Structures are given as C-alpha cells and as structure tokens.
Amino acid sequence: MAEGFELRAYCFLDRMQPQYASFTGTVTQGDLPVEGMASLYIEMAPGNWVFRMIDIAVKATDARPGAQIVEREFGMFEIHSLSQADVQRAGEVVLEQLGVAVTDRVKPTIASMQVITNVSPYQAQLLNRFTRGMMLVSGQTMLVLECAPAAYINYAANEAEKAAAVNLMHITSVGRFGRLWMAGTEADILAARDAAVDAIESLDGRT
C-alpha cells in the first residue's frame, strides 16, 4: 500500500432495488445500472487514485463503470454488473493492487438520524425542489439519515428499500458525509430506519 493511502469505503450491494437503481440512473454519468444488478462503491484518499483503480477493475472483468468522482478530499468510483461474481472479482483485483484487505476500510458510523412525522406541505414543497427521486407528500413521515464515510449511504438506502414500502427521495454519496431522504407511512419509515441502521452497524473496518 502506498504511503498516505487510505481505503475509506468498500461497499458491496448484492442486488439493486427498483427505486435505488432508478435513482442512481438519474445521477450517474457513466454506464446506467438497472434493477437486480450488483454494485460496488470504493472510496479512497488521495482521490486521484480512483482513475488507476477503476481502469484496473473494468479491464479485469465485465463489470461496468457508473461513477468516477474526485472531490475536495476523497475519490470514489462505482462499478456494476448483472453478475455478482464479476463485481466481487473486480473488487478483489482492486484490493490486490492496493495491497489492502476489506477490513482496512473505515468502519461506517451514523452521524445523524431524524424521523419527522406529519410533514408540513410547505416543507414538502421545499424538499421536492431538490429531489431526483419520489416526491414528498404532506402528512407523510420522513427519514433523514447521515453517515460517514459517504459511500456507505448507498448500502443503507438499498437495504432500507428491501425492508419496507418506502419512497426513496434523495441520496448524496460524495463528500464528507452521505445523506439519505426517504418518505412513507410512520410504520414503514421506522422499519426502513431500523434496516438502514442495522446495515451500517453490520459492516466491519477500522474505527
């Protein structure tokens, strides 16, 4: 492993859920994913390492690149395929090249979490101006979740959608924190919240 390198996130999604895949398709600048695909997000520092690593991953397998982002502090890339084996192998190749293991990643933590019941129509209108997913309707319950490193919010969102009939509003997975907005009935949002928390807390890594 190069001096000063940090594996911040290694985040594998076994099967993209319908809303999650659809939302990802609205923000990705690369190959468009579809429901049922496996996906892998890898976040690292320094950020410029992503260019070499995604090149290695897509040359070694049939996994397709969906995102390749370098921002102020970190770099992140995403690859996906209908074959879980291809995505997993691509991740293994990257780890081998870097000389690190999955357990060298940073263990994710929840930075903040809020459940807001009976959302006001005025707040719903404000939030709907910033979403690329489902609309927030007044009276619904809303989940706001924030975690670090940012890439893990994708795993939380996908697992939450598996657990409950919620509406996925928005995901931001680049930068210091990842953020998620979901809406639905109070019972469904509480089930989604618990699934998202369990997903984040189940992942190992460096503290």
The tens digit of pLDDT for each residue in 35-76 reads 999 999 999 999 999 999 999 999 999 999 999 999 888 999
Cβ atoms of residues 195 and 58 within 8 Å:
no
pLDDT at 73: 85
Residue 1 pLDDT exceeds 60: no
Using only C-alpha atoms, what is the Rg of the chain? 17
The tens digit of pLDDT for each residue in 133-187 reads 999 999 999 999 999 999 999 999 999 999 999 999 999 999 899 999 999 999 9
pLDDT at 156: 98
User: Which residues, in sequence order, are bridge partners of residue 172?
Assistant: 179
pLDDT at 84: 97
Q: What band does 3 get if pLDDT is binned at 50, 70 and 90?
A: low
- The mean pLDDT value of the chain amounts to 95
Region 8-33: what's the mean pLDDT? 96
Question: 114 CB contacts (<8 Å, ≥6 apart)?
Answer: 143, 144
Rounded distance, CA 11 to CA 147, Å? 13
Structure-model confidence comparison of residues 137 and 4, the more confident one: 137
CA end-to-end distance (rounded Å), the chain = 19
pLDDT at 128: 94
Cβ atoms of residues 87 and 95 within 8 Å:
no
Residue 2 pLDDT exceeds 70: no
* Coil, strand or helix at 115: strand
Instruction: Enumerate domains of the chain plus CATH numbers.
Output: 6-104 (3.30.70.1710), 109-202 (3.30.70.1710)
Rounded distance, CA 205 to CA 114, Å? 25
Rounded distance, CA 32 to CA 54, Å? 16
Rounded distance, CA 153 to CA 140, Å? 22
Rounded distance, CA 46 to CA 129, Å? 33
pLDDT at 78: 97
The tens digit of pLDDT for each residue in 113-136 reads 999 999 999 999 999 998 989 999
